[in-house]
Structure 1
Amino acid sequence: MMLPYTICFIKRGNEILLLNRNKSPLMGMWNGVGGKVEKEETHEQCVIREVEEETGITLSHVDYKGTITWNVDDSPLSGMYAYLANVPETFSYDTPIQTREGVLEWKDISWILHQENKGVVSNIKYFLPYMLRDNKLYTYHLVYKQDQIKQFTANEKDYMHKANY
């Protein structure tokens, strides 16, 4: 099954470049950078194109980290291909920057993952720690009921973690 979206987390030291979206979906929430996979485009081509369009950053290398899928109430499965891009700590990119898509800003990883942080897209704190921890590929799945995450699963070849909420 081809997933419709991509997402990229650009990491510089202990910070990640996030976008606070101007429009729905997820308006006013901090999220990674990404978008819709176009016809005749691979998901890697899509994520590199979307990062350049939304940030002006041209990435020469991205690390594929797996897929993130979800079910919302009774709607069909949807999802995205997840990428991590590491840039050197010396990488110069001053923020905040106002763009057509929203505001870009470097955010400390501990701030992004803080349990009290309500301004970051809610599913990030579930899968981002796995993406940052190792170079393994995971398949992540979330089940939402009435806008709440009720289940999260992370599958890797030799590992599975499932939690109900």
Structure 2
Amino acid sequence: MNEITLPPVSEIDWSTWVPEQVATLMFILRNDEVLLIRKKRGLGAGKINGPGGRIEGDETPEECAIRETNEELLINPINTRFGGELFFHAEDMPRIHVHIYVATDFEGTPSETDEAIPIWFKLDQLPFDEMWDDDRIWLGHVLQGGTVEGYFTFIEERLIDQQVIFN
């Protein structure tokens, strides 16, 4: 079996880099908590993350984030704001460009579906050991109102290198 190697983030020409998927993540805040999901299938199954998924047709990233949250948790996020963009380069997983959104309210009751189990977490007790490695770098900043632009390389679901711009 050939060992996978990737260049450092700083050596990738991100201006010509092309993702295989464009997707979204949504994080819903309630007082000192955030609503996350345990993903039941697909890329990252078993991990904890925000709801989200691939952009379809001509929908905007924000429309996608709202639709995916509704499909995965049966709720409608409201009062959304842009939280940033993430770029994931890998050879053994899809290369993904992710748009992040944060909502401060929602309509409905978060419910388990065939895609996700909803779980509320205190903002100071996020389950980083059960999340993607990159989340511990940028998620707290976004949940506190900031935005990020993050570039990451992964091999076998492990973070290899990263560069994050915090705004």
TM range (shorter): 0.7 to 0.9
TM normalised by structure 2 equals 0.76
Match of 2:78 among 54, 60, 73: 60
**Contiguous gaps of at least 5 residues in structure 2:** 1-17
Q: How does 1:55-94 map to 2 (within 5 A)?
A: 55-73=73-91, 77-87=95-105, 93=109
Secondary structure, in 3 states, of the residue corresponding to 1:41? coil
Shift of 1:139: 1.1
Number of residue pairs aligned between Structure 1 and Structure 2: 149
1:155 aligned to 2:165?
Answer: yes
Aligned mates of 1:139, 1:31 — CA distance in 2:
18
Relative to structure 1, the CA distance from residue 145 to residue 53 in structure 2 (aligned partners, 3 Å threshold; closer, same or farther) is closer
Deviation, structure 1 residue 131: 0.5
Q: Runs of 4 or more off by more than 3 Å in structure 1?
A: 73-77
Cα distance change, pair 147–75 in 1 and its aligned pair in 2 (3 A) = closer
Query: Per-residue displacement from partner, 1:26-81 (whole Å, max 9, x unpaired)?
Result: 11111101111001111111111111222222223211111011112477742210
Residues 56 and 75 of structure 1, relative CA distance in 2, 3 Å threshold: closer
Q: Which amino acid aligns with 1:123?
A: D
Q: Secondary structure at the match of 2:133?
A: coil
* Structure 2 residue aligned with 1:98: 112
Structure 1 position 87, deviation (Å): 2.5
* Letter matched to residue 152 of structure 1: Q
Query: Which residue pairs with 1:139 in the alignment?
Result: 149
Q: Distance in 2 between matches of 1:125 and 1:150?
A: 14
Relative to structure 1, is the Cα distance of residues 98 and 55 closer, same or farther in structure 2, using a 3 angstrom cutoff?
closer
2:124 alignment counterpart: 110
Match 1:124 to one of 112, 135, 138:
135
* 1:8 Cα deviation after fit: 0.5
Change (3 A) 1:146 1:23: closer
Unmatched 5+ residue regions in structure 1? 160-165
The reply to whether residue 43 of structure 1 matches residue 53 of structure 2 is no
Letter in 2 for 1:107: F
What RMSD, in angstroms, separates the aligned Cα atoms of the two structures? 2.6
- AA aligned opposite 2:63: Q
TM (norm. structure 1) is 0.77
Task: Give the distance between the partners of 1:60 and 1:84, measured in 2 at CA.
Answer: 9
What residue number does 1:162 align with?
Answer: none
Residue of structure 1 equivalent to 2:34: 16
Contact 2:37/2:51 (<8 A) preserved = yes
Provide the residue aligned with 2:46 in structure 1: 28
